[in-house]
A and B are shown apart, each in its own frame.
Chain A
Amino acid sequence: MLKREHLKTNIIQIYSLTVKDLKLKTRYKLEFLVEFLAPLLSLFFPYIIFNTLFNIEEGIFGTYYSRENFLLFVLLGYCISTLIFLLWNYKDLFYDEKTWKTLNAVIVAPVNQFNILFSYFLSGLISKSLPLIFIIVICYVLFPIPIPYLILVILVLICISITFAGMGFILGIFEIVNEDISASLAVGISLISLVSCVFYPIEIFPEQLHFFIKLNPLYYYFDLLRLTWWAGIEYREAISYITIYHILIVGIFTIITPILASYLFLRIYNKYGISGY
């Protein structure tokens, strides 16, 4: 009975916190619309670059990217770019709530801190769900795949979301306790994102960089996402690119990142509290 009541409290708290975040996000409707549309513009540059390159020479990269599928990978790159919002969302929200002192009001309330983290994740996901669904539908119409493959693609997208959220927890906690560290981490994450092959294949980078790119777990997530979709169309080609590292790294990091990040969040918050305001 007590457990049921406890569960009910957690659900109500997560719901209330999520609705609150969404209300704050939609305070200015045009701003919300711009956030929705702006990433779509980022599709044009990779599209133009790939189109030009493939007009010059087919198979220029020596990879699974081709004239037939590059549009799919550009669209999937948009999905990744949209999900990266989940990572930055924590930094922005914690900064706002810290300066408004509303974070004090929520933390001083009998709210489980995991509920705060989870509600930020949900509100971020909901606020970006429309453009995400829109692009996935376009991908499905242009590059149809069997339903089991679509489910696998959604599973990889969920893994990406969870990992981004975990990274966001760490960025968020430093936004609360020490903005210098948070800013440094943000630069680091931006650099890692640049060499994560969101839109482009690894082969576009100089060969000397390949080793470092392959040390970056995010590379495997994004590569696996593309290859999973492509496996639904050209199974043999796609599967020849999927390695055991793809599966292991995505599986392990999806589990470890949020657990480690939540632990760090609680430890660091309890030790240092809110500082800067």
Chain B
Amino acid sequence: MTNKVIETFDLTKEYKLKTGGKILALNKINISINEGEIFGLLGPNGAGKTTLVSILSTLLQPTSGYVEIYGLDIRKHANAKKIKHKIGLMLGAEMVYFRMTGIDNLKFFSRIYRIKNSSQKIKDITTNLGIYHKLGEYVSNYSRGQKLRIALARVLLIEPEILFLDEPLLGLDPKTTRELIAILLALNKTILLTSHQMHIVEQLCGRIAFLNKGKVIKIDKQENYKKLLSEFVRISIDILDNNKKLELKKELTGLNYIKNILDKKDGYLITIADNKYYPDLLTCLGKYPVQKFQEIEPTLDDVFVELS
């Protein structure tokens, strides 16, 4: 039996607009996250991901509905206080003092959390994250990747049972991204992760909730998301003559079985409703200098575009 660590019940957050109206940032959100699970939160900008993370981490009160973490309703001040020791929040590379050195930051947070044996832990964590040698420098002098690492070190230092990571790997080079993904996977903790980087969500998350305009559109395992698109066929088309490229797009747009056309360097990525339309499509493409025609696997990126 799985242990539900986080559960939301009709969670709603409304913001008043300066123009006088209201905006629903979250609309009756019901999600649950199990112990040890890495749960992904996907959605376009303004979908409500950060608002949801802020409420779950006790930073913000919902307008209605509630959240239970370890069975405790965190709207109550006493309950929120109890779970604060158990949660770690990371909002990108922020939440550390850029005007202080790395070591001063980590010492400060270890003191307010009253972490025992903090010097050794700081050394272990920062060595593992590859920033031990930078600790004596002001964080403002760190590179983007190093800032993310020190922000992650701050969260790991407090040894939380639940991690809320908002865009934790944004703007990193592929090597660093791989290293940090390996570190996150090895943590074996309950993690709620928001990201726009589909490959990161694919590598890390078991289940994914897709949010749009404050509503949960879908919660499912990532393989089921891909099945969503299995009924569609994705085709990559490369065309030799650049002058003919626009002409081809015009013609493809006119075909009613074509669901989506995305530009790429040498041609297009198209989505068709069924492979029964292949003969018709091939007849159409025959008029153009097509170099390559290849069916491809749908990715979470495609799901993202499809759902948003």
* A interface residue numbers (CB < 8 A to B): 9, 12-13, 15-17, 19-20, 23-24, 27, 100-102, 104-111, 270-271, 273-274
Is B111's CB within 8 Å of the partner chain A?
A: yes
Q: A16-B112, A270-B77 are in contact. Are A108 and B99 (CB under 8 A)?
A: no
Interface 1/0 per residue, B262-289 and A, CB below 8 Å = 0000000000000000000000000000
In Å, the complex CA distance between A254 and B113 comes to 32
Encode contact with A along B217-235: 1 for CB under 8 Å, 0 otherwise: 0000000000000000000
22 pairs of residues in contact across A and B, judged by CB atoms under 8 Å: A16-B108, A16-B112, A17-B112, A19-B108, A20-B97, A20-B108, A23-B100, A24-B100, A27-B100, A102-B96, A104-B89, A104-B91, A104-B95, A105-B154, A108-B87, A109-B84, A109-B112, A109-B113, A111-B112, A270-B77, A273-B60, A273-B61
Cα distance A19–B110 in the bound complex, in angstroms: 14
CB-based contact B95/A24 at 8 Å: no
Q: For residue A199, give the distance in angstroms from its CB to the closest CB of chain B.
A: 34
Q: A23-B100, A104-B89, A106-B112 are in contact. Are A274 and B94 (CB under 8 A)?
A: no
Q: Which of B51-59, B199-207, B250-258, B294-302 contacts the other chain? A: B51-59
- The 6 A-B pairs of least Cβ separation, nearest first, read A16-B111, A101-B94, A105-B95, A110-B84, A273-B60, A27-B99
B149 smallest CB distance to A (angstroms): 16
Q: Judge whether B112 and A13 touch: CB under 8 Å.
A: yes
What residues on B are CB-neighbors of A27 within 8 Å?
99-100, 138
Q: Does the CB pair B89–A105 fall under 8 Å?
A: yes
Contact A108 B89 (CB under 8 A): yes
Chain B residues whose CB sits within 8 angstroms of the CB of A271 once the complex forms: 61
Instruction: State whether B114 touches A9 (Cβ < 8 A).
Output: yes
Query: Is B81 interfacial (CB 8 A cutoff)?
Result: yes
Measured in the bound complex, the distance between the Cα atoms of B104 and A102 in whole Å is: 14
A101 touching B112 by the CB < 8 A rule?
A: no
Asked if B304 is an interface residue, CB under 8 A from chain A, the answer is no
Distance in Å from the Cβ of A59 to the closest Cβ of chain B? Answer: 52
Report the minimal beta-carbon distance from A245 to chain B, rounded to whole angstroms. Answer: 39
B54: chain A residues at CB < 8 Å are 273
Q: 1/0 contact trace for B3-22 toward A, CB 8 Å?
A: 00000000000000000000
Q: Does residue B142 face the partner (Cβ distance < 8 Å to A)?
A: no
CA gap between A275 and B97 in the complex, in Å = 20
Known: A23-B100, A105-B154. A110 touches B85 (CB 8 A): yes
Add 10 more A-B contacts to A17-B112, A110-B85, A273-B60 (CB < 8 A): A16-B108, A19-B108, A24-B99, A101-B95, A105-B109, A105-B154, A106-B112, A107-B59, A108-B84, A108-B89
Residues of B within 8 A of A19 (CB): 108
Asked if B98 CB lies within 8 Å of chain A CBs, one says yes
Chain B 108-140 interface 0/1 with A at a Cβ cutoff of 8 Å (1 = within): 110111100000000000000000000000100
B92 to chain A, nearest CB (A): 9
Check A101–B81 contact: CB distance below 8 A: no
Instruction: State which of B59, B99, B112, B154 has its C-beta within 8 Å of the C-beta of A274.
Output: B59
Q: How far is the CA of A63 from the CA of B172 in the complex (A)?
A: 69
B61 contacts A13, C-beta separation under 8 Å: no
A114 to B140 alpha-carbon distance, docked (Å): 29
- Evaluate contact between A105 and B96: CB separation under 8 angstroms: yes
Would you give the shortest CB distance from A164 to chain B, in whole angstroms?
A: 25
Provide the bound-state CA to CA distance between A23 and B96, in Å: 14
CB distance from A148 to the nearest CB of B (A): 40
- Of A9, A13, A15, A108, the contact of B59 (CB 8 Å cutoff): A108
Central interface residue in B60, B84, B99, B104, by most chain A CB within 10 Å = B99
Name the distance in Å between A107's Cβ and chain B's nearest Cβ.
6
CA distance A111 to B114 in the complex (A): 10
CB distance from A184 to the nearest CB of B (A): 15
Contacts of A274 in B (CB 8 A): 59-60
Alpha-carbon gap, A23 to B104, bound state (A): 9
Q: Which residues of B contact A15 (CB under 8 A)?
A: 111
